[in-house]
Chains A and B, each alone.
Chain A
Amino acid sequence: MIYNASSFIYLLKQQGINFFSGVPCSILTGIIRELIDDDSVTYVSSTREDEAVGIASGAYMAGKSPVVLMQNSGLGNSLNVLTSLSLIYKIPCLMLVSWRGYKGKDAPEHLIAGDISEKILRVAGIPFFVLEKENIENVIMSAMKLMKEKSIPVVILIKNGVLG
């Protein structure tokens, strides 16, 4: 099945996700537009990516199942909160991270970050999956399962065009 923003969000909601926070990226425009219009979930916009992880962590402790949305350039902004809050307190969240600079084809400001995104996550000890058109359901299920088992953040990297 081909997923668009709306059916993708539906899939997340079926998995129990009910809270979203994040900073926009052009790759995530469709998802965020849907979320703002969706009365069945809470979407709290954020001024920075680490703030979004902080907000999501509060929501988790208050019983929500949160997602954080960000551009991969925001991973750097989030390293401190991930290492000194999420990982040590074991506070999970599903992180939907758009992957600008994938394979070196993008604007100059995205090239280095695009190249090192996976490395950053590996070094920080944050598990990640790469979303492809063909594996969307599998990736969501696997990421949610791992997130619940380990009780830590799990990243799904989203390249441009994967969500049709």
Chain B
Amino acid sequence: MKRAEAIKTVLTVLSDELVVHANGLICRESFVINDRPQNFYMIGSMGLAASIGLGIAVSKPERKIVVFDGDGNVLMNMGTLAQIGTLCPENFYHFVFDNEVYGSTGNQPTLTNVIELEKVARASGYIKTYRAINSGELRVIAEECLKIKGPVFILVKVNTEYDKKIERVSHAPEEIKKRFMAVI
């Protein structure tokens, strides 16, 4: 499955959950598919989407926080998995779109053709982990996992195909923040 298809599948299942996006194409694809005010597009600070999500999750226990992460992003800040697993916020749902490459910078291999990140998450204390390899499976998992208490980790295997002409997030960073804060 393409990453865009995977993102679309999860977005279809969501209602008003907050979604923090990893940088690069993940932001851009999600922006094009459905530009929700509940989307925080982290266009810089690679690796920190889950950390930002954690800060929100512990501060707003009544809201569900979803993170759309990438394999390269997770590898850059793997300590945050331990932090999330240990603090164990019930409202934390961590989707990782794993194409086994730094897709946004030209498909240089990461390490996830060997390292199974959901095992790292499990060892770090996440309550439940899943692995999805097609969109049908992903849809069922997304529906199920949002009903249980987290932190939950969903590894989504995707391929490297994407629309080469995809646009950038057109909102200025401050604007992204303002409209996100207005719906928290």
Contact = CB atoms under 8 A, between A and B. Distances in A.
Interface of A: 19, 21, 42, 44-48, 50-51, 53-64, 66, 80-81, 83-85, 88-91
A30 to B, nearest CB: 23
A-side interface mostly: helix
A63 B62 CA distance: 13
Q: Interface range on chain B: under 10, 10 to 19, 20 to 34, or 35 or more? A: 20 to 34
Interface of B is mostly: helix
Nearest to A78: B45
B56 A58 contact: yes
Contact of A58 (B44, B51, B174): B51
A156 B166 CA distance: 42
Contacts of B59: 19, 42, 58-59, 62-64
Given A44-B55, A61-B180, A63-B184, A81 B79 contact: no
B50 to A, nearest CB: 8
24 contacts: A44-B54, A44-B83, A44-B87, A46-B83, A47-B83, A48-B77, A51-B51, A51-B80, A53-B48, A54-B55, A58-B55, A58-B56, A62-B55, A62-B59, A64-B59, A66-B55, A83-B44, A84-B44, A84-B45, A85-B44, A88-B173, A88-B174, A89-B173, A89-B177
A51 B77 contact: yes
Given A54-B55, A58-B53, A85-B52, 6 more contacts: A51-B48, A58-B52, A81-B48, A85-B48, A88-B173, A89-B173
